[in-house]
Amino acid sequence: MKVNFILNNQEVTYEVDPGEVLLDSLRKNHLVSVKRGCDSSTCGVCTVLLNDKPVLSCSLLTASIEGKNITTVDGLQKEIEEIAHYFGDEGADQCGFCNSGLALTIYALKKEYKHPTDEEIKHYVVGNLCRCSGYQAQFLAIKRYLGGAK
């Protein structure tokens, strides 16, 4: 079946199986910035934005996104680069595998909350697991990004 949607501000049409999930569709079409982690609706590595809200692409049927907006880090290069600078400054990076999903979640958090509390930040990003760096440096980087500190 054909599915029409907006991918990173461009109209696209994908030919998919009705049971295919968005993660597979995107990666088949060379959007490999979207990573496959647990593949069981938990780790957040495969996060993309659906109409500006973070969703797990491993758990979303591609057929269900007809006419909707999908954003990956490829469509937000300037904003993601800014987040990456804060992560680099705080030493919050190691392998980087979780970064694209986490960066999109943080970007969505900034759009949803004007001045989030520490608890609100933690609650929002808790679904994005990192297996190597721990969370303190990431948390500091997120706080600096949200606060606009340089």
Partner 1 sequence: MEIKNYARPSSLEEAYDLLTTSGQNALLGGGVWMKYANRKVDTMIDLSLLGLNQIVEKKDEVIIGAQTTLRDLEINQAIKNLGTDFLSQAIGSIVGVAFRNVATIGGSIAGKYPFSDLITPMLCLNVTLKFFPDEEMKLSEYLDQKHKHPGILTHIIIKKTKGKGYFKKVSNTILDFSILNVACYYDNAFMIAIGSRPAKPILATHVMHMLNQSSQLTNELISSAGDEIIKTIPFSSDDRGSKAYREILAKTYVMRGIKEVTKP
Say what angle helices 136-147 and 99-112 make with each other, to 10 degrees: 40
Restricting to residues 9-28, name those near partner 1 by CB under 8 A.
17-19, 21
Tally the C-alpha atoms within 13 A of residue 6's C-alpha that lie toward its C-beta. 12
Residues 35-64 that bind partner 1 (CB under 8 A): 40-44, 47, 50, 53-56, 59-61, 63-64
String marking each residue 81-120 x if it binds partner 1 according to CB under 8 A: --------------------x---x--x------------
Nearer to partner 1, 87 or 124 (CB): 124
Question: With the CA atoms of 29, 30, 31 and 34 taken in that order, what torsion angle do they form, in degrees rounded to the nearest 10?
Answer: 100
- Residue 20 beta carbon to partner 1: minimum distance, rounded to whole angstroms: 9
Separation of alpha carbons 56 and 32, rounded Å: 15
Strand blocks (E) in the chain: 2-7, 10-15, 47-50, 53-56, 69-71
Note the residues at the interface with partner 1 (CB under 8 A): 1, 17-19, 21, 40-44, 47, 50, 53-56, 59-61, 63-64, 66, 101, 105, 108, 123-129
